[in-house]
Amino acid sequence: MRDVSHEARELTQRGLEHYAHGRIREAISAWLGAAQLAPHDPRARNLLVFARRKLKECDTPLPTHSHRDTLESPIPTFLASLTVDEAAEGASQGSQETAADGEWDQIDTRRVLAGAVERTADEAGQDAQAAADTRKQPIQKLLAGARGLVDECQAALTEGRADGAALAAEMALQLREQARSPEIDDIVDSTRPLFERAFCACIGDMKCAPIRAIPSEELAAHGLDHRAAFLMSRMDGMLTVGDLLDIAGMPRFDALRLMAALRRAQAVDLVPVG
């Protein structure tokens, strides 16, 4: 005896795989077949309506090309700007105690973030106070950077720039994780409610059902890890964003952060559930 419901589920899943690989027309064909086999199943119908609208949008030329963001990309540039600024200041002042001779180029960024700046052999005999002052400089810049990211998150939210707000929040959190500084912890931790609002704004309608827009194997290229892969594995076109947050198996804030990162990377799309 033919199991129509099973065939419809297989077609729906096949359509999700097609969509994740950018094969929208093939996805439409699969979801159309599923909808015909199970006309009372809202999932295939919702996916079909969404995909047809998406295909129409794709066939319409856009004035500018969209850019897929990544989770990790802004941080190296931001950190590099801090070290470059410090070196530039030393060169302009002509000081022999700073990075005029390219000292900053030899510093491990992870140690700078930890507040442990490497000293050259020539500087080994300098007094302890001078060394302590040198170590404080990058931390002060990182503190200013953390405050600036919080301010940018707030401004972007006020101006309706949801992606920009989420990006600023993500950069601040990454800075906190890498810096391991109690001062930066205080700045960032006190603004978690702001960051949560930014992530929610970036994600969009929590009552929509997210589906994969890229293959899972491409997640690493966007700086996303196994936790993001787990979330994406649960995206079946039926579970809403709110549902996923409930079953994510991680704190709600972390799940929101991941979902916002997936949205910024254009790794998922949201299907209205009607």
pLDDT of 23 higher than 80: yes
Average pLDDT over residues 227-237: 90
The confidence score (pLDDT) of residue 139 equals: 82
- pLDDT greater at residue 13 or residue 129: 13
For the residues of 1-50, what is the DSSP string, one character each?
---HHHHHHHHHHHHHHHHHTT-HHHHHHHHHHHHHH-TT-HHHHHHHHH
Joined together, the tokens standing for residue 273 give 């559930």
The pLDDT of residue 92 is above 80: no
Q: What is the mean pLDDT of residues 137-144?
A: 82
Q: What residue spans of 94-127 are helical by DSSP H?
A: 109-113
Give the pLDDT of residue 101: 36
Higher pLDDT, 58 or 243: 243
Task: Among 64-68, 147-151, 171-175, 242-246, name the one with the lowest average pLDDT.
Answer: 64-68
Please check the confidence at residue 255 and state whether its pLDDT lies above 60.
Answer: yes
> Would the pLDDT of 205 be above 90?
yes
Share of the chain above pLDDT 90, in %: 51
Average pLDDT, rounded, for the chain: 78
* pLDDT number for residue 136: 53
| Mean local confidence (pLDDT), 192-216 | 95
| More confidently predicted of 239 and 226 | 239
- Higher-confidence position of 269 and 114: 269
Q: Where are the beta strands (DSSP E) in 90-150?
A: none
- At 179 the pLDDT is 84
Q: What is the pLDDT of residue 134?
A: 38
With 0.75 as the threshold, say if the pTM is over it: no
Please compute the mean of the pLDDT values over residues 194-216 and round it to a whole number: 95
Is residue 84's pLDDT more than 90?
no
Q: What is the pLDDT of residue 178?
A: 87
Is the pLDDT at 47 greater than 90? The verdict is yes
Find the angle CA(9)-CA(227)-CA(252) to the nearest 5 degrees: 95
In 3D space, the residue among 211, 187, 195 whose CA is nearest the CA of residue 257 turns out to be 195
Q: What is the pLDDT of residue 222?
A: 76
Tokens for 98? 């700073």
Please check the confidence at residue 126 and state whether its pLDDT lies above 60: no
- pLDDT for res 59: 77
Average pLDDT of the residues in 207-213: 95
What proportion of the chain, given as a percentage, has pLDDT over 70?
Answer: 71
Region 217-225 average pLDDT: 80
Report pLDDT for 142: 87
* Cβ contact 233:216 at 8 Å: yes
pLDDT for 225 equals 79
